[in-house]
Amino acid sequence: MSELAESVRDAIEDGRLGPRLWLYANYHCNLACSYCLTESGPGAPRRELPPEAMRRAAREARELGFRGVGITGGEPFLRADLPAVAAELSDVLPVLVLTNATLFEGPRIDRLDPLRGSGVTLQISLDAASPVANDPMRGPGNFERVVRAIPRLVERGIGVRVATTVYGQDDAELAAVERLVAELGVVPEDHVVRPTVARGRAAGAGLGEVAGIDELPAEATVTVDGLFWSPFAPTVRGGRLDTDLLVSRQTAPLEDGLRSFVGLVGEAPLAEATRFR
Protein backbone atom coordinates (compact mmCIF):
# COMPACT_ATOMS: atom_id res chain seq x y z
CA MET A 1 0.00 0.00 0.00
CA SER A 2 1.36 3.45 -0.84
CA GLU A 3 2.13 5.91 1.92
CA LEU A 4 -0.69 8.14 0.69
CA ALA A 5 -3.22 5.28 0.71
CA GLU A 6 -2.15 4.50 4.25
CA SER A 7 -2.75 8.12 5.30
CA VAL A 8 -6.15 8.14 3.60
CA ARG A 9 -7.18 4.87 5.25
CA ASP A 10 -6.03 6.11 8.66
CA ALA A 11 -7.88 9.42 8.23
CA ILE A 12 -11.09 7.62 7.24
CA GLU A 13 -10.66 5.15 10.10
CA ASP A 14 -10.20 8.01 12.62
CA GLY A 15 -13.15 9.96 11.24
CA ARG A 16 -10.92 12.80 10.06
CA LEU A 17 -11.91 12.22 6.43
CA GLY A 18 -15.31 11.21 5.10
CA PRO A 19 -15.39 7.68 3.66
CA ARG A 20 -17.02 8.75 0.41
CA LEU A 21 -15.46 10.51 -2.57
CA TRP A 22 -17.92 13.01 -4.02
CA LEU A 23 -18.17 13.78 -7.72
CA TYR A 24 -19.98 16.82 -9.11
CA ALA A 25 -21.51 15.32 -12.25
CA ASN A 26 -22.83 18.66 -13.56
CA TYR A 27 -24.07 22.03 -12.39
CA HIS A 28 -27.33 22.49 -14.30
CA CYS A 29 -30.74 21.54 -12.94
CA ASN A 30 -34.38 21.50 -13.96
CA LEU A 31 -35.21 23.17 -10.62
CA ALA A 32 -33.90 26.41 -9.09
CA CYS A 33 -34.24 25.91 -5.31
CA SER A 34 -34.02 28.96 -3.07
CA TYR A 35 -31.26 27.46 -0.92
CA CYS A 36 -29.19 25.93 -3.73
CA LEU A 37 -25.46 26.03 -3.00
CA THR A 38 -24.44 26.16 -6.61
CA GLU A 39 -27.01 28.54 -8.12
CA SER A 40 -28.09 25.60 -10.25
CA GLY A 41 -31.01 26.00 -12.61
CA PRO A 42 -32.04 25.32 -16.18
CA GLY A 43 -29.75 28.05 -17.54
CA ALA A 44 -26.70 27.30 -15.39
CA PRO A 45 -23.53 26.33 -17.26
CA ARG A 46 -23.35 22.51 -17.28
CA ARG A 47 -19.68 22.05 -16.35
CA GLU A 48 -20.01 18.27 -16.59
CA LEU A 49 -17.41 15.91 -15.22
CA PRO A 50 -16.64 13.65 -18.20
CA PRO A 51 -17.60 9.99 -17.72
CA GLU A 52 -14.00 8.86 -18.12
CA ALA A 53 -12.95 11.26 -15.36
CA MET A 54 -15.68 9.78 -13.12
CA ARG A 55 -14.54 6.22 -13.84
CA ARG A 56 -10.92 7.05 -13.20
CA ALA A 57 -11.73 8.89 -9.96
CA ALA A 58 -13.76 5.92 -8.68
CA ARG A 59 -11.01 3.43 -9.48
CA GLU A 60 -8.39 5.57 -7.81
CA ALA A 61 -10.68 6.21 -4.83
CA ARG A 62 -10.95 2.46 -4.24
CA GLU A 63 -7.18 2.05 -4.47
CA LEU A 64 -6.70 4.84 -1.94
CA GLY A 65 -9.15 3.37 0.57
CA PHE A 66 -12.37 5.28 0.04
CA ARG A 67 -15.44 3.18 0.74
CA GLY A 68 -17.99 4.79 -1.54
CA VAL A 69 -18.69 7.32 -4.26
CA GLY A 70 -21.27 10.09 -4.08
CA ILE A 71 -22.60 11.73 -7.23
CA THR A 72 -24.15 15.16 -6.92
CA GLY A 73 -24.74 18.35 -8.91
CA GLY A 74 -26.87 20.05 -10.32
CA GLU A 75 -29.38 17.36 -11.12
CA PRO A 76 -27.24 14.41 -12.20
CA PHE A 77 -30.07 12.70 -14.12
CA LEU A 78 -30.21 15.57 -16.61
CA ARG A 79 -27.22 13.73 -18.06
CA ALA A 80 -28.37 11.03 -20.47
CA ASP A 81 -25.38 8.84 -19.58
CA LEU A 82 -25.87 9.02 -15.83
CA PRO A 83 -27.74 5.76 -15.17
CA ALA A 84 -25.17 3.73 -17.10
CA VAL A 85 -22.18 5.56 -15.59
CA ALA A 86 -23.52 5.26 -12.05
CA ALA A 87 -24.18 1.55 -12.52
CA GLU A 88 -20.67 1.11 -13.87
CA LEU A 89 -19.12 2.97 -10.93
CA SER A 90 -21.06 0.77 -8.52
CA ASP A 91 -19.01 -2.18 -9.75
CA VAL A 92 -16.04 -0.33 -8.23
CA LEU A 93 -17.54 1.12 -5.03
CA PRO A 94 -21.07 1.59 -3.63
CA VAL A 95 -22.64 4.68 -5.22
CA LEU A 96 -25.03 7.25 -3.80
CA VAL A 97 -26.67 9.65 -6.29
CA LEU A 98 -28.31 12.82 -5.01
CA THR A 99 -31.36 13.61 -7.13
CA ASN A 100 -34.55 15.66 -7.04
CA ALA A 101 -36.43 12.64 -8.52
CA THR A 102 -38.58 14.85 -10.73
CA LEU A 103 -37.36 13.36 -14.00
CA PHE A 104 -38.81 9.88 -13.46
CA GLU A 105 -42.45 10.52 -14.45
CA GLY A 106 -44.36 7.83 -16.39
CA PRO A 107 -42.26 5.73 -18.75
CA ARG A 108 -39.18 7.92 -18.17
CA ILE A 109 -38.49 5.82 -15.09
CA ASP A 110 -37.41 3.01 -17.45
CA ARG A 111 -34.22 5.03 -18.02
CA LEU A 112 -33.19 3.87 -14.56
CA ASP A 113 -33.28 0.16 -15.46
CA PRO A 114 -29.46 -0.09 -15.32
CA LEU A 115 -29.75 0.73 -11.60
CA ARG A 116 -32.07 -2.17 -10.72
CA GLY A 117 -30.25 -4.55 -8.43
CA SER A 118 -27.05 -2.48 -8.71
CA GLY A 119 -25.01 -0.95 -5.91
CA VAL A 120 -26.54 2.45 -6.63
CA THR A 121 -28.75 4.18 -4.08
CA LEU A 122 -30.70 7.33 -4.90
CA GLN A 123 -31.00 10.05 -2.32
CA ILE A 124 -34.08 12.15 -2.94
CA SER A 125 -34.74 15.61 -1.57
CA LEU A 126 -38.05 16.16 0.24
CA ASP A 127 -38.35 18.96 2.76
CA ALA A 128 -41.93 18.85 4.02
CA ALA A 129 -45.09 16.71 4.10
CA SER A 130 -47.27 18.86 1.86
CA PRO A 131 -46.95 20.85 -1.37
CA VAL A 132 -47.81 24.03 0.53
CA ALA A 133 -44.80 23.58 2.80
CA ASN A 134 -42.40 21.89 0.38
CA ASP A 135 -42.86 23.67 -2.92
CA PRO A 136 -42.08 27.33 -2.13
CA MET A 137 -38.39 26.41 -1.73
CA ARG A 138 -38.17 23.67 -4.35
CA GLY A 139 -40.64 24.82 -7.00
CA PRO A 140 -44.25 24.16 -8.04
CA GLY A 141 -45.24 20.50 -8.50
CA ASN A 142 -42.11 19.22 -6.77
CA PHE A 143 -43.88 17.52 -3.87
CA GLU A 144 -46.31 15.56 -6.07
CA ARG A 145 -43.58 14.33 -8.39
CA VAL A 146 -41.38 13.18 -5.51
CA VAL A 147 -44.09 11.26 -3.65
CA ARG A 148 -45.11 9.58 -6.92
CA ALA A 149 -41.52 8.63 -7.73
CA ILE A 150 -40.40 7.12 -4.41
CA PRO A 151 -42.76 4.08 -4.26
CA ARG A 152 -42.18 3.35 -7.94
CA LEU A 153 -38.41 3.31 -7.37
CA VAL A 154 -38.77 1.11 -4.29
CA GLU A 155 -41.01 -1.27 -6.32
CA ARG A 156 -38.33 -1.60 -8.96
CA GLY A 157 -35.70 -2.59 -6.43
CA ILE A 158 -33.78 0.67 -6.64
CA GLY A 159 -32.33 1.77 -3.30
CA VAL A 160 -33.87 5.00 -1.99
CA ARG A 161 -32.91 7.38 0.79
CA VAL A 162 -34.64 10.68 1.52
CA ALA A 163 -32.90 13.90 2.53
CA THR A 164 -34.67 16.74 4.26
CA THR A 165 -32.97 20.12 4.30
CA VAL A 166 -33.88 22.16 7.36
CA TYR A 167 -34.40 25.88 6.79
CA GLY A 168 -37.01 26.75 9.41
CA GLN A 169 -39.66 24.00 9.34
CA ASP A 170 -41.07 23.50 12.83
CA ASP A 171 -40.95 20.23 14.77
CA ALA A 172 -44.48 19.28 13.72
CA GLU A 173 -43.56 19.66 10.05
CA LEU A 174 -40.41 17.59 10.48
CA ALA A 175 -42.39 14.88 12.31
CA ALA A 176 -44.94 14.86 9.49
CA VAL A 177 -42.26 14.44 6.86
CA GLU A 178 -40.80 11.57 8.90
CA ARG A 179 -44.19 9.79 8.87
CA LEU A 180 -44.65 10.43 5.16
CA VAL A 181 -41.22 9.01 4.35
CA ALA A 182 -42.08 5.82 6.24
CA GLU A 183 -45.41 5.55 4.38
CA LEU A 184 -43.55 5.83 1.10
CA GLY A 185 -41.61 2.68 1.99
CA VAL A 186 -38.32 4.17 3.21
CA VAL A 187 -36.97 3.01 6.58
CA PRO A 188 -36.02 5.69 9.18
CA GLU A 189 -32.27 4.91 8.86
CA ASP A 190 -32.53 6.00 5.25
CA HIS A 191 -34.03 9.39 6.06
CA VAL A 192 -31.37 12.04 6.64
CA VAL A 193 -32.05 15.51 7.97
CA ARG A 194 -29.42 18.15 7.27
CA PRO A 195 -29.01 21.88 7.82
CA THR A 196 -29.04 24.54 5.14
CA VAL A 197 -25.57 25.93 4.54
CA ALA A 198 -25.16 29.64 3.99
CA ARG A 199 -23.30 29.48 0.71
CA GLY A 200 -24.37 29.96 -2.89
CA ARG A 201 -27.98 31.08 -3.39
CA ALA A 202 -28.78 30.41 0.28
CA ALA A 203 -26.25 33.04 1.37
CA GLY A 204 -27.80 35.57 -0.99
CA ALA A 205 -31.24 34.81 0.47
CA GLY A 206 -29.97 35.06 4.06
CA LEU A 207 -30.67 31.35 4.68
CA GLY A 208 -28.69 28.79 6.63
CA GLU A 209 -25.63 28.60 8.81
CA VAL A 210 -22.23 29.97 7.90
CA ALA A 211 -19.87 27.17 6.98
CA GLY A 212 -16.12 27.29 6.55
CA ILE A 213 -13.41 24.74 7.09
CA ASP A 214 -14.05 24.70 10.85
CA GLU A 215 -17.72 23.89 10.43
CA LEU A 216 -17.54 21.51 7.48
CA PRO A 217 -16.07 18.07 7.88
CA ALA A 218 -13.52 16.95 5.32
CA GLU A 219 -15.14 15.06 2.46
CA ALA A 220 -13.04 15.03 -0.68
CA THR A 221 -15.01 16.38 -3.62
CA VAL A 222 -14.05 16.37 -7.28
CA THR A 223 -15.48 18.85 -9.79
CA VAL A 224 -14.32 20.00 -13.22
CA ASP A 225 -12.62 22.86 -11.36
CA GLY A 226 -10.54 20.80 -8.94
CA LEU A 227 -10.54 19.03 -5.61
CA PHE A 228 -12.55 20.70 -2.85
CA TRP A 229 -12.76 20.30 0.92
CA SER A 230 -16.40 19.24 0.98
CA PRO A 231 -19.44 18.88 -1.27
CA PHE A 232 -20.58 22.13 0.37
CA ALA A 233 -17.43 23.82 -0.96
CA PRO A 234 -17.57 24.26 -4.76
CA THR A 235 -20.38 26.76 -4.42
CA VAL A 236 -21.36 29.49 -6.84
CA ARG A 237 -22.39 33.00 -5.95
CA GLY A 238 -23.21 35.72 -8.43
CA GLY A 239 -22.10 33.35 -11.19
CA ARG A 240 -18.61 33.04 -9.71
CA LEU A 241 -17.14 29.84 -8.29
CA ASP A 242 -16.00 30.09 -4.66
CA THR A 243 -12.38 28.99 -4.16
CA ASP A 244 -12.10 29.52 -0.40
CA LEU A 245 -12.48 25.75 0.16
CA LEU A 246 -10.51 24.69 -2.92
CA VAL A 247 -7.70 22.29 -2.07
CA SER A 248 -6.07 21.63 -5.43
CA ARG A 249 -6.64 22.09 -9.14
CA GLN A 250 -5.23 18.57 -9.64
CA THR A 251 -7.74 15.72 -9.72
CA ALA A 252 -6.20 13.32 -12.25
CA PRO A 253 -4.45 11.46 -10.88
CA LEU A 254 -6.53 11.89 -7.78
CA GLU A 255 -3.52 11.27 -5.58
CA ASP A 256 -1.93 14.54 -6.75
CA GLY A 257 -4.66 16.62 -5.19
CA LEU A 258 -5.28 14.23 -2.36
CA ARG A 259 -1.72 14.59 -1.13
CA SER A 260 -2.48 18.26 -0.41
CA PHE A 261 -5.84 17.26 1.07
CA VAL A 262 -4.36 14.79 3.55
CA GLY A 263 -1.93 17.49 4.64
CA LEU A 264 -4.90 19.62 5.68
CA VAL A 265 -6.84 16.96 7.55
CA GLY A 266 -6.32 17.65 11.23
CA GLU A 267 -6.87 15.50 14.25
CA ALA A 268 -10.48 16.52 14.83
CA PRO A 269 -13.17 13.96 14.01
CA LEU A 270 -16.04 14.75 11.66
CA ALA A 271 -18.77 17.01 12.95
CA GLU A 272 -21.71 14.65 12.62
CA ALA A 273 -24.25 17.47 12.59
CA THR A 274 -23.00 19.03 9.41
CA ARG A 275 -21.77 15.99 7.51
CA PHE A 276 -22.89 16.19 3.90
CA ARG A 277 -25.58 13.63 3.16
* Residues of this chain that bind other proteins (CB under 8 A): 213, 229, 242-250, 257, 260, 263-264
168 vs 240 by CB, closer to other proteins: 240
142 vs 251 by CB, closer to other proteins: 251
136 vs 212 by CB, closer to other proteins: 212
Closest approach of Cβ 229 to other proteins, in Å? 6
The C-alpha angle with vertex 154 and arms to 165 and 42, in degrees rounded to 5, equals 50
Contact by Cβ (8 Å): 101, 141: no
57 vs 247 by CB, closer to other proteins: 247
The C-alpha angle with vertex 70 and arms to 65 and 76, in degrees rounded to 5, equals 150
243 vs 274 by CB, closer to other proteins: 243
Closest approach of Cβ 245 to other proteins, in Å? 6
At position 186, the amino acid (one-letter code) is: V
226-228 and 221-223 strand pairing: antiparallel
Closest approach of Cβ 260 to other proteins, in Å? 5
| Phi, psi of 201, deg, nearest 5 | -65, -30
Strand partners, 146: none
Strand partners, 160: 122
Closest approach of Cβ 202 to other proteins, in Å? 17
**Residues near 266 by beta carbon (within 8 Å), at least 6 away in sequence:** 16
At position 144, the amino acid (one-letter code) is: E
**Residues near 60 by beta carbon (within 8 Å), at least 6 away in sequence:** 253, 254, 255
Closest approach of Cβ 228 to other proteins, in Å? 9
Cα separation, 27 vs 30, in Å, equals: 10
Closest approach of Cβ 247 to other proteins, in Å? 5
